[in-house]
Amino acid sequence: MSARIEVDCRDQPCPRPIIELAKAFGELPVGGEVAVVARDPAARYDVPAWCRMRGQEYVGEGVTDTGDPLYVVRRTS
Amino acid sequence: MQSPGDREGAAESGPEPPVSRAYLDSSSTEPLHPAARETLLAALDRGYADPRRLHHEGRDARLLLDNARAVVADCLGVRPREVGFTASGTDAVHRGLLGLTTDPDSSGIVHSAVEHSSVLHAVQWRDSPAHGRIPVDTLGRVDPYAVEQAAWADGVGAIAVQTANQEVGTLQPVDDIDPPPTVALFVDAAAAAGRVPLPRRWDVLAASAHKWGGPAGVGVLAVRGGSWSTPFPGEHDGLDAPGFANVPGALASAAALQAVLAEQEAVADRQFRQVERIRRALAALPDTEVLGDPVDRLPHLVTFSCLYVSGDELVTGLDRRGFAVASGSACTASTLEPSHVLAAMGALTHGNVRVSVSRDTTEDEVDRLCAAITEVVTEVRRSVGL
């Protein structure tokens, strides 16, 4: 099974969720995933934009058990 | 009353003023054009009376208002009776668009996803199941064919497309839109009027004088086609918004428009090259997206987004270094929602800055701005460990 890291940025404003995503990404092996939990409305646009700019894969949006939005990124390089 | 000495004391306790200031937010509002200032001051003294009165002073005010209307009409290539003055650009948009959709059977509005908020608010206000929002590409441009196709749907009364986008500068292909025969074409020209040649095809056009160097509080509504009727209450005198006429404002706006059109080519050429220089400098900055069409764009503005930096940190960091710029990031908006334009383009919404040069921005200011942006971005990224 591939590695998965969850980053909790529930109560953090933009661009914190993206900063934490970038930091978590450093520890991730290729093929691994980071799930960013963020209520900030900008995360919906900025996580996919980060993937495009950094050449990584945006897997999609989900919801946590507590009903918070979650954005998943896969490391491709 | 405070003595000059007291004021000096107060200033000393405030923040250190920068050596020089560069106002680079002309897309929000252009400083008053010298031609407008001169006209405004003269018209404040002469054009105070009620232009509806028959006395000498009233007739004099009417003469100035007619003169303003004739000049604006000439600048827009329409007849004077096709031009009205409104309280603002927003007011012109609301009157223009809502006045085209008063028939409940054809009150639907097809519009691009990146229209100004005044257009989107008018669409929300007009209750219709036939509204259509047309997406844009990554440059912020709408497909004219998609607009046209959507406008054939039942219940559509108007198309609303801007001449150019107010946030990223991309020009829209308004002249390529061929509306169905019963659908009117409304054009929001606020971002473009006085800066680039306007589209040829439109029925109703709205613009805002302070965007081209006129005073605030003057909008222009031009109606030359479509079945437009006033959507709001009040006694109407042609296309002018009801209420006491702002004669000095209208005349100063006309003078500014005439002056900017006379110098349009030279100013646009200089600004286009300045912005190109800024775009090149930004392209060298890591993890930065320069937005909008690099060529088919407004000459004076450029927007970019930087990873790991907030819009307000960039705006305040540049302000401390003497540069006034705007941002479309959520942290700078009262709603905490990111700019709908950036979102519709799929662009990065945080770390966003819009730079718009003025008619007197110097090459030295451009150089210093480019250096300051690199400095601020590097500093903020270092502070978050990236």
CA B41-B72-B117 angle, to 5 degrees, is: 95
Q: Do residues B110 and B51 share a domain? A: yes
Q: Do residues B326 and B216 share a domain? A: no
**Alpha carbon distance A52, A36 (integer Å):** 16
Compute CA A71 distance to the chain's CA centroid, rounded to the nearest angstrom: 5
Query: Looking at the domain assignment, is residue B317 inside a domain?
Result: yes
Query: Looking at the domain assignment, is residue B28 inside a domain?
Result: no
Query: Looking at the domain assignment, is residue B18 inside a domain?
Result: no
- Cα distances (angstroms) measured from residue B44 to each of A15, B62, B89, B196, B258: 48, 14, 21, 30, 19
Average pLDDT (A58-65) is: 95
**Nearest to residue B228, comparing CAs of B205, B252, B198?**
B205
Q: Do residues B216 and B302 share a domain? A: no
Q: Do residues B293 and B360 share a domain? A: yes
Q: Do residues B193 and B123 share a domain? A: yes
| Interface size between A and B, measured as CB pairs under 8 A | 64
Nearest residue in chain A measured CA to CA from B352? A15
Query: Looking at the domain assignment, is residue B57 inside a domain?
Result: yes
At residue B11, the pLDDT reads 46
Query: Looking at the domain assignment, is residue B371 inside a domain?
Result: yes
Mean pLDDT for each consecutive 10-residue tract of chain B (386 residues)? 44 60 97 96 96 96 98 97 97 97 97 97 97 98 98 98 98 98 97 97 97 98 92 85 95 98 98 98 97 98 97 96 92 77 96 96 97 97 92
Q: Do residues B93 and B103 share a domain? A: yes
For chain A, say whether B338 makes contact (Cβ under 8 Å).
yes
Last residue of a domain, one of B262, B293, B308: B262
At residue B330, the pLDDT reads 75
What contacts A56, CB < 8 A, 6 or more positions away?
A: A25, A50, A73, A74, A75, A76, A77
Q: Which of B337, B349, B352, B380 to mutate to test the interface with A (most CBs of A within 10 A)?
A: B349
Query: Looking at the domain assignment, is residue B367 inside a domain?
Result: yes
Q: If contacts are CB pairs under 8 Å, which of residues 313-332 in chain B contact chain A?
A: 329-331
Q: Do residues B240 and B156 share a domain? A: yes
CA B29-B321-B14 angle, to 5 degrees, is: 90
Last residue of a domain, one of B212, B231, B262: B262
Q: What is the domain-level CATH number for residue A43?
A: 3.30.110.40
Q: Do residues B257 and B324 share a domain? A: no
Residue with the larger pLDDT of the pair B330 and A7: A7
Q: Which of B136, B350, B377, B380 to mutate to test the interface with A (most CBs of A within 10 A)?
A: B350
Cβ pair A41:B350 closer than 8 A: no
- What would you measure as the largest C-alpha separation in chain B, in angstroms? 72
Q: Which residues pair with B170 in a beta bridge?
A: B297
* Contacts made by residues A62-65, CB under 8 angstroms, sequence distance 24+: A62/A35, A64/A37
Four-CA torsion B262, B266, B267, B269, nearest 10 degrees: 140
Query: Which amino acid is located at B355 in the chain?
Result: V
At residue B204, the pLDDT reads 98
- Cα distances (angstroms) measured from residue B267 to each of A49, B32, B74, B142: 35, 16, 21, 27
Cβ pair A18:B308 closer than 8 A: yes
Number of domains comprising chain A: 1
Which residues of B are known catalytic residues?
331
Cβ atoms within 10 A of the Cβ of B70, count?
Answer: 14
Task: Spell out which residues of chain A touch residue B336, defining contact as CB-CB under 8 Å.
Answer: 13, 41
Number of domains comprising chain B: 2
Distance from CA of B380 to the nearest CA of A (A): 12
Q: Do residues B128 and B256 share a domain? A: yes
Cβ pair B350:A53 closer than 8 A: no
The DSSP bridge pattern shows strands B301-306 and B352-356 to be antiparallel
Task: Spell out which residues of chain B touch residue A22, defining contact as CB-CB under 8 Å.
Answer: 307-308, 386
Task: Spell out which residues of chain A touch residue B353, defining contact as CB-CB under 8 Å.
Answer: none
At residue B14, the pLDDT reads 58
Nearest residue in chain A measured CA to CA from B288? A53
Choose among A13, A19, A49: nearest Cβ to B386.
Answer: A19
Nearest residue in chain B measured CA to CA from A18? B308
At residue B4, the pLDDT reads 44
The helix/strand/coil state of A16 is: helix
Nearest residue in chain A measured CA to CA from B344? A45
For chain A, say whether B349 makes contact (Cβ under 8 Å).
yes
For chain B, say whether A32 makes contact (Cβ under 8 Å).
no
Choose among B289, B336, B342: nearest Cβ to A41.
Answer: B336
The helix/strand/coil state of A15 is: coil
User: Containing domain of residue A63, as a range?
Assistant: 4-74
Query: Looking at the domain assignment, is residue B166 inside a domain?
Result: yes
Q: What is the domain-level CATH number for residue B207?
A: 3.40.640.10
At residue B237, the pLDDT reads 73
What contacts B207, CB < 8 A, 6 or more positions away?
A: B89, B92, B189, B190, B193, B219, B220, B222
Query: Looking at the domain assignment, is residue B284 inside a domain?
Result: yes
For chain A, say whether B30 makes contact (Cβ under 8 Å).
no
At residue A2, the pLDDT reads 65
Q: Do residues B258 and B269 share a domain? A: no
**Alpha carbon distance B164, B115 (integer Å):** 9
Distance from CA of A1 to the nearest CA of B (A): 30
User: Containing domain of residue B183, as a range?
Assistant: 34-262
Burial class (CB in 10 A: 0-12, 13-18, 19+), B155: middle
For chain A, say whether B144 makes contact (Cβ under 8 Å).
no
Cβ pair B350:A46 closer than 8 A: yes
Task: Spell out which residues of chain A touch residue B331, defining contact as CB-CB under 8 Å.
Answer: 13-14
Choose among A14, A49, A52: nearest Cβ to B331.
Answer: A14
At residue B234, the pLDDT reads 80
Q: Do residues B245 and B313 share a domain? A: no
For chain B, say whether A58 makes contact (Cβ under 8 Å).
no
For chain B, say whether A41 makes contact (Cβ under 8 Å).
yes
Q: Do residues B56 and B93 share a domain? A: yes
Distance from CA of B94 to the nearest CA of A (A): 28
